[in-house]
Structure 1
Amino acid sequence: MSRVGSDQVDEVGARLLRRWREPHRYYHDVTHLAEVLAAVDTLCTAEDVGRDDHTVAVLAAWFHDAVYSAEQHETNEAESAALADAELARLHVRGEIRSRVGELVLDTVAHDLSDEQARDAARTVLHDADLWILAAPVARFDEYCAQVREEYAHVPVVAYAKGRGEVLRPFLVRDHVYRTRHAREAWEGMARENLARELTRLAG
């Protein structure tokens, strides 16, 4: 990144925070952002991730839900990736870094990295950091479930239970929820317990 004034960086940060604080967000808000950023730092330290990969993962964390609407969720990630490219270009971030950040943001559509994609340390870090919430302590995980339901309050109960189950069940049937060694060792067991409990609730 070429040198830019701190005022320019602050302006981009302020615009992002305004997005993360939009009133329709119940889960995808500044608390989620802070949790993902903390998980990124934890994983980068535990996995000895290099500085460039750490930077890419942090930038992607800031942008990954910058555009968020439960009612138009099909385009959230694509619009967030486009926003990342535009805002980082204003800060004169190199095109290579912008492209990588965009890839990481788009990864959060399916949260399912191929083996080839998982060779990129930044991609595995953001993948696992965004899914940290699945391994949160019971009270926080249950709060997360309630917050997501609040964001989708416009969806009838039966349709929500079906759709939410379809989102969560694949994580439970995979060999591993997480891609990094640290997350598998420290978070995997709790994530599976939480997922099983929520799927049972959704099944009524």
Structure 2
Amino acid sequence: MTAPGSLVGFDAWAALAGDSPISRTEWAAIVGAWSEPHRRYHGLAHLAAVLGLVGELAGAASDPAAVALAAWYHDIAYDPTRTDNEQVSADRARAGLRGLVPEARVDEVVRLVLLTARHDPAPGDANGAVLCDADLSVLAGPPDAYAAYASAVRAEYGHLSDDEFTAGRIGLLERLLALPQLYRLPAVDDEWTARARANLTAELTLLRSRGASAPATPPPAAG
């Protein structure tokens, strides 16, 4: 298993974007963004986890480099008080990758980052399936790991009251459970889907038992 630090190190970035002063500056800015103190779940450990899985699933992608670059940027903008983090992240990817990789790959990275708003890639979208499945892998973790993830997300939304958070989180969980498929890749679908649905259902049951009186804006993040 690759160490988390090496997954987010400059060598891993340079394999995708080259080694140049501009590339080094961009990598440092990306790592700095992912290291913001308010990130209790959506930090460097999450980035490393997604990058590791993207690497493991790369054989299913049509452009593995684009998927990996999208992973670097997919939550580079993460402000729980906003509803447009994916759009801001996509715009940041376009600006940051300009001149570092071909324009066609930049376009694909932007498209993939935007997909993480709903994690619902179209049938046949191999790149989207790899990124979204990797990003949602936390949902299929052991119950204690899932509980730690849910607790960390709650901490990120500390500006919301319990009622507000509960209402928004319920909406998100219901949307995820309503997806025809949580995971699109056969390599992970059989192993992850049952565990993820069990975790989501358990959290949904718990939150419904608490009740909620006000919607949360934006809804708490999925992955």
TM over 0.5: yes
- Superposed displacement of residue 86, structure 1: 0.9
1:4 positional shift: 5.1
Structure 1 residue 89 corresponds to structure 2 residue 102: no
Aligned equivalents of 2:29, 2:132: Cα separation in 1: 24
CA displacement at 1:188 relative to structure 2: 0.8
Unaligned stretches of 5+ residues in structure 1: none
Supply the RMSD in Å over aligned alpha carbons.
1.9
Question: Match for residue 56 of structure 1?
Answer: 66
Q: Deviations over 1:60-90 (max 9, x none)?
A: 0000000110011x12111111111111104
Q: How does 1:105-144 map to 2 (within 5 A)?
A: 105-115=113-123, 119-144=124-149
**Aligned residue number for residue 196 of structure 1:** 201
**Cα drift, residue 201 of structure 1:** 1.6
1:3: Cα distance to partner?
A: 8.6
Distance 1:84 1:40 in 2: 18
- The answer to whether residue 177 in structure 2 is matched with residue 172 in structure 1 is yes
In the alignment, structure 2 segments of 5+ residues that lack a partner are 1-14, 210-223
Out of 7, 12, 25, the position equivalent to 1:11 is 25
- 1:160-184: CA deviations, max 9, x gaps? 1111011111222333211111121
Change (3 A) 1:59 1:185: same
In structure 1, the partner of 2:49 is 35
Residue matched to 1:98: 106
Code of the residue aligned with 2:24 in structure 1: it is D
User: How many residue pairs end up in the alignment?
Assistant: 195
Identity in percent = 37
Please give the TM-score of this superposition, normalised by the length of structure 1.
0.89
Aligned residues of 2:89 and 2:113 also touching (Cα < 8 A): yes
- With a CA cutoff of 8 Å and minimum separation of 6, indicate the structure with the bigger relative contact order: 1
- Scaled by the length of structure 2, what TM-score is found? 0.82
> Alpha carbons of 1:89 and 1:169: their partners in 2 closer, same or farther (altered >3 Å)?
same
